[in-house]
Structure 1
Amino acid sequence: MTGAIQGEETVANPALEQAIINKIRDKGISLPVLPDVALRARRIIDDPNSSASDLVEVISQDPAIAARLIQVANSPLYRGAQHIDNLNQIVSRLGMRTVSQLIVSLSAKQLFHANTPTIKRIMRDHWAFSTQVAALANHIARRHTRLDADQALLAGLLHSVGGIPVIVVAEDIPKLQDAPAVLNELVESLQSRLGGNIVKAWDFPDMFAEVIQHCGDLGYQHDGDPNYSDVVICAIAQARGISRTPDDRPIMAAEKLGVDLESSMIDDELDEAIRALGG
């Protein structure tokens, strides 16, 4: 399988893609599961008898998540007139559902881990790009749509979650580690197939699987109102600094939303938000 990799060639290789899929299956590599704090937060939101104090109790048992929640709550994403310095204030200002979604977003960093130095770096870059897309998706949803900006943030963060098992498998393939361009292409090619299965296993709304399915296609277009796929596609294009598809066609999602991809959206405030999400 690894003999198919030659230097930095990135020509699509269906045989190599299938070999990766087989290796994931044969090694019994489990698809990523949500961290415990995220699962508990979602259960509280789904329980009509739960209260804000129940959610605060869950958060308080994970000091790292609690600290990052306070950081994000005071970032340009959610900053209000008064500085937030405790969990009760966060839940009161943002609401239980928004806080629950943020817990999922922030705890997702735990999924992006690896053992070897090369793969750690690749996974770190994968996470950094995901947080950039998430912050941009939140910004675009707020400015250009009536969609839920918190949902857009989470969709942006998880758009490439299917790449995680591909990168994990690469730890066992030295030649693949030495060809990061090939590995990145494999991630791009396979993450929609695997990512949809992951968010379905998490029992997330269908929207997340739809975003994962469509966001790799910069030429994606559809009839009707803007959707989360449009938002995440625009966020990906902005994060990559591109304004047209690889075959030089307009990015229809940007036209639908009225987003100008020619100019950068990333100012000091958005950069601060990206850093807060990245942890």
Structure 2
Amino acid sequence: MPSHPNYSNQGNKFAPAKTSLREAGDLYGQKEFHIYQNAIEKMRAHDDQLPSLPIITLEIRKATSNPNVNLNHLSSLIAKDPSLTAILMKHASSVFYRTADKPKNLQDVIKRLGMGAIESLTLSHSIKSLFVLRNHQLKALYKQAWQRQTLKACMSYHLAKTLHFPNPEDAIVASLLSEVGTLALLSSLQDYAAPAAPTYKILCQHYSKHLGAILLAKWGVSPVFVDVLRKTGAWTLDTGRLLQLVDVINLGLFHTIHYLQPQNDLIPLQEIAAFKKLNPQYAMIKQQKLLIIEENISHILQLQKNFE
């Protein structure tokens, strides 16, 4: 099984300490490590054990893709899920969408957010609810992973909106989907004690991206999101002359790591391929962070609360 860098667990206050090659070799020889490996391999080999998207999510995705969708029909679909309704209301009332009047009902929310945001936020909501964990220790790891991922998603969304991407909400979905394999990995271990930190990190390095790719194929998401999953964390990868969605996600990941673990071993921001594509007015830096992030961090953190 090829090893992939575990960018979902690097450089944050919840991350395990670095694992050296010698330490990794020691882990591979432990019985405990192979027990975890076998559990993950079993899930990987039987993708029917991996969750499918809820029917309500599929119905909403279908409705939002219809240019002639009836707002009453879409509102009635969303209303079937009270927690989704609450999340959409929060987003429509957030600082990024705030206007003089707060939305009074779901139709107001739909009009304010737009179809793209409704679809993206519905999918994001579904991701969190797909993996039900019984193990208390794994629940704690899951919560930490989700908090980290949603911060990255909100960092990426702010960047996409500031950089005038046509559908900035795609950055939320792309960011979360790029690390959904970590959530699947934790789900596969729920019949066991939570792995020690070094073991957890090595397991993620081996399996998280691969499990994520299987899930994205099962869900039939856009190839664009699959490409983001594959390239997330590849700081210096050349993705072409123009700024791509994966570039935005990598900048979001970089700033998430800096926020959660100021002491880190990241490469300089100036060396990241995505940074080199920024127009000068967006490329101003303060202490290895973009000013467009640093000056708006309170708004970004406020947006993240909508995903709790």
- Bucket of the pairwise TM-score, normalised by the shorter protein: 0.7 to 0.9
SS of corresponding position for 1:97: helix
How far does the alpha carbon of each residue in 1:71-128 deviate from its partner, in whole angstroms, 9 at most, with x for none?
Answer: 1111123222321231010112222332122111223210243111110001111111
1:254 aligns with 2:280: no
Counterpart in the other structure of 1:77: 96
List gaps (5 residues or longer) in structure 2.
1-15, 29-33
Q: CA RMSD in A?
A: 2.9
User: CA separation of 1:8/1:222 partners in 2, compared to 1, >3 Å: closer, same or farther?
Assistant: closer
How big is the shift at 1:19? Answer: 4.1
1:118-267 equivalence runs, <5 A: 118-174=137-193, 177-241=194-258, 246=265, 248=267, 250-257=271-278, 258-259=282-283, 260=285, 262-263=288-289, 265=294, 267=297
Determine the structure 2 residue equivalent to 1:274: 304
Amino acid at match of 1:124: K
Q: Tell me how far apart the structure 2 counterparts of residues 27 and 146 of structure 1 sit (CA, whole Å).
A: 38
CA pair 152-46 structure 1, distance change in 2 beyond 3 A: same
Give the corresponding residue for 1:3: none
1:33 to 49, 52, 72: 52
| AA of the residue aligned to 2:188 | V
User: So what's the TM-score if we normalise by structure 2?
Assistant: 0.77
**Closer/same/farther in 2, CA of residues 77 and 37 from structure 1, 3 Å limit:** farther
Equivalent-residue separation in structure 2 for 1:33 and 1:131 (angstroms): 21
Structure 1 range deviating more: 250-259 or 149-158: 250-259
SS in 1 for 2:60: helix
One-letter amino acid of the counterpart of residue 162, structure 1: G
Q: What is the letter of the counterpart of residue 304 of structure 2?
A: I
The whole-number CA distance in structure 1 between the counterparts of 2:133 and 2:249 is 26
- Call closer, same or farther: CA 1:83–1:136 in 2, change over 3 Å: same
1:62 counterpart (64, 72, 81): 81
Question: TM-score, with normalisation over the residues of structure 1?
Answer: 0.85
CA distance in 2, matches of 1:272, 1:124: 18
Mapped pair 1:114 → 2:164: no
User: Structure 2: how far apart are the matches of 1:96 and 1:33?
Assistant: 22
Structure 1 contact 188–216 (Cα < 8 Å) conserved: no
Match of residue 5 from structure 2: none
Number of equivalent positions: 270
Q: More displaced, 16-25 or 146-155?
A: 16-25
Q: Is the 8 A contact 2:18 2:198 kept in 1?
A: yes
- Secondary structure of the structure 2 residue equivalent to 1:146: coil
CA-CA distance at 1:168 after TM superposition: 1.6
1:244 to 1:267, Cα distance in 2 relative to 1, 3 A: closer
Distance 1:243 1:208 in 2: 28
Percent identity reads 24
SS for the counterpart of 1:162 is helix
Decide whether aligned partners of structure 1 residues 198 and 60 sit closer, same or farther in structure 2, where only a CA change above 3 A counts: same
On the 8 A contact 1:55/1:96 being kept in 2, the answer is no
8 Å CA contact 1:221–1:252 kept in 2: the answer is yes
The 2-side partners of 1:26 and 1:222 are apart by 32
